[in-house]
Amino acid sequence: MRFSTQEIFFFYLGVQAQTVANFFLAFEADLTILPVLNKIDLPGADVETVQKQMKNVFDIEPDEILQVSAKHGTGVEDVLKAVIDRIPPPTTDIKKPFKGLVFDSTYEKFKGAVTNVSVKDGVVKKGDKIVSAHTKKSYEVQDVGILYPEQTSTGCLYGGQVGYMMANIKSMTDVWIGDTLYHEKSPVEALPGFKPAKPMVFAGIYPMDQSEYQALKMALEKLTMNDPSVSVSNDNSEALGVGFRLGFLGLLHMDVFNQRLEQEYDASVIPTAPNVSYKVKIKGDKNIKFYGAEEITILNPCKLPDPSIIEAQYEPMVYSTIIVPVDYIADINPLCMERRGEILDQSYIDDTRIMFKVIFPLNEILIDFYDELKSVSSGYARYAITVDAPVSYGEMDIGFDYEDHGYQESDLVKIIYLLNGKELDELTMISHITKARQKGREIVEKLCKSIPRQLFKVSVQACVGGKVLAREDIQPYRKDVTAKCYGGDISRKNKLLKRQAEGKKKMRMIGKISVPKDVFIKVLTK
């Protein structure tokens, strides 16, 4: 894990995928790296092996690595001493104009956004007018102080100090981690490296009843105050009505947000299948004028333009790191090929583990790739994530990490799913053309198993451009209407059967099919 105070801690499990990613983030930022082995008190801790791994991967000498047991306090004083000895003090000048780095923020009722700030230069005092370099909005400092460890008001902060600041900032979207603050009358150059959180996964949510739209809107506004990394935009669907399109950092982020929405605000919503953002190049002056640009971004698969006006399509790619035991090398290659991955490099960390560098389409690893990756370690993999950089999954046996790698041209198609001829907007998706038929067939089969049986037959179809890729039928409950007939003319039975068939046909035309909310995630995972 990476800390803003310029050190990296490595754990007893050894070098993980997220360890590699965060090490090079720190290395590229020219930060001082302080390697520490934690949990050395555990029976499974193999200090010598981990030291060799760190030497092979990061060229860190074993005598530079500190050993710690946080549980027993062993080596903690050595770490604190090393922080003082190895990490240089901040270079600051209190005579220069105020320049502060926002490294954390929280939202408190009646106070607004409370920012934690590292003062790089100058002085900031209560009553000063400050400006955000990112939003250009100005605020008056209401209170300022240090964390001791509680908030302790001091009235001012000097260069080199770290503390908190309250400035009547009403929304978390107005203050970003990594942003630079400065005095209103003394603009300064923003600190380098600031990158706003970039959503990677998008999904729509719609109220169960359109009368609950305003309540859902208010719930989203309150919830995003504490989570500004979630992007929110209005959306609409012919089948689902008016709703919202949300952007998340990852699938876990989306799941946690939806749970909070339901538990904290009692919001009953219809979620759509998660997807990624695609880019489409439009051809024809008339079409370009209609869409407002030659290249547009598609966040909702339902909004993908007609193929006849598309010149090129692009899908997001990710650069990933996979670490597995050497015994599973033969399982990784076919898994990467199945997900359209391109293996760039593979290298041994030590005698027991190997590291792969692979480029994947983001859509291929979004839902269940890590579950398949876990299966090669016989289910012993556990889950972890780094918050401030790439999305990461790290385990004792297996590790997986990925980061943004831009867009690449691709052959894409829109798959729509029909229930009795009605489009199921919640599951509309964009897929690579080579995988459309397989994906359509798989999801149709899962829908048939997941949707409850009705009193009438339900046809489930997957279609691309009007062509049916797959079809299955959910058979209805059967009632024997001829049970009360004991002999007699056969025409009596035929009349009853005909009347039943007509009733089911009418029911099929007007009947609404209830689809459980959790079906959309279930059918997408293997």
What is the full per-residue pLDDT of the chain (526 aa) written as tens digits?
333 344 444 444 567 767 777 787 787 778 888 888 888 888 777 888 888 888 888 888 888 889 988 888 888 999 999 999 988 888 888 899 999 999 888 878 778 888 999 999 999 999 999 999 888 899 999 999 998 888 999 999 999 999 999 998 887 777 788 889 999 989 998 888 667 777 888 888 888 888 888 989 888 887 887 777 888 888 887 767 888 999 888 777 888 888 888 888 888 888 887 888 899 999 989 999 998 899 999 988 888 999 999 999 999 998 888 877 777 788 888 888 888 988 888 888 777 778 888 899 988 887 777 777 777 655 433 322 333 333 443 443 445 556 778 899 999 999 999 888 888 887 888 999 999 999 899 889 988 888 877 777 888 899 998 899 999 888 876 666 555 666 666 776 777 667 766 655 544 443 466 666 666 666 666 5
Predicted confidence at residue 224, as pLDDT, reads 80
Q: Return the closest-CA partner of residue 348 out of 15, 8, 66.
A: 15
Angstrom distance (rounded) from CA 309 to CA 299: 18
Predicted confidence at residue 397, as pLDDT, reads 46
Angstrom distance (rounded) from CA 219 to CA 430: 29
Largest CA distance in the chain: 108
Predicted confidence at residue 7, as pLDDT, reads 44
Give the residues across from 323 on adjacent strands. 355, 399
Helix H segments across 14-144?
A: 17-28, 47-58, 76-86
Q: Return the closest-CA partner of residue 111 out of 84, 141, 136.
A: 141
In one letter, which amino acid is 262? Answer: E
Distance of CA 209 to CAs 8, 49, 203, 267, 319, Å? 49, 58, 18, 11, 41
Q: What are phi and psi of 341, to 5 degrees?
A: -85, 150
Residues contacting 435, CB < 8 A, separation 6+: none
Distance of CA 204 to CAs 63, 225, 295, 428, Å? 52, 19, 22, 11
66-67 and 36-38: which strand pairing? Answer: parallel
Give the sheet arrangement for strand 180-183, strand by strand.
Answer: 138-140, 129-132, 180-183, 99-108, 112-121, 162-169, 143-147, 151-153
310-325 and 278-282: which strand pairing? Answer: antiparallel
Distance of CA 102 to CAs 3, 22, 115, 120, Å? 14, 20, 6, 11
In one letter, which amino acid is 279? Answer: K
Predicted confidence at residue 509, as pLDDT, reads 43
Q: Return the closest-CA partner of residue 511 out of 444, 448, 455.
A: 455
Q: Return the closest-CA partner of residue 324 out of 14, 58, 23, 26.
A: 14
HEC string of 375-430 equals HCCCCCCCCCCCCCCCEEEECCCCEEEEEEEEEEECCEEEEEEEECCEECHHHCEE
Task: For residue 498, say whether it is annotated as part of any ligand binding site.
Answer: no
Q: Over the Cα atoms of the chain, what is R_g?
A: 29
**Domains in the chain with CATH codes:** 2-86 (3.40.50.300), 99-183 (2.40.30.10), 201-271 (3.30.70.870), 314-409 (3.30.70.240), 416-428+435-522 (3.30.70.2570)
**Contact, 11 vs 38, CB < 8 A?**
yes
Instruction: DSSP for 188-242, please give it.
Output: -PPPTT-------EEEEEEESSGGGHHHHHHHHHHHHHS-TTSEEEEEEETTTEE
Structure tokens at 288: 């370009």
Instruction: Report the C-alpha dihedral over residues 146, 151, 152, 154, rounded to 10 degrees.
Output: 50
Predicted confidence at residue 395, as pLDDT, reads 41
- Tracing tokens 């999904």 back to the chain, one arrives at 203
**pTM of structure:** 0.65
Distance of CA 307 to CAs 288, 435, 484, Å? 14, 17, 56
Q: At what angle do helices 47-58 and 17-28 cross, to 10 degrees?
A: 50
Q: At what angle do helices 213-225 and 251-265 cross, to 10 degrees?
A: 120
**Contact, 302 vs 237, CB < 8 A?**
yes
Task: For residue 275, say whether it is annotated as part of any ligand binding site.
Answer: no
Predicted confidence at residue 464, as pLDDT, reads 92
Residues in the chain: 526
In the chain, DSSP finds a helix count (H) and a strand count (E) of: 12, 31
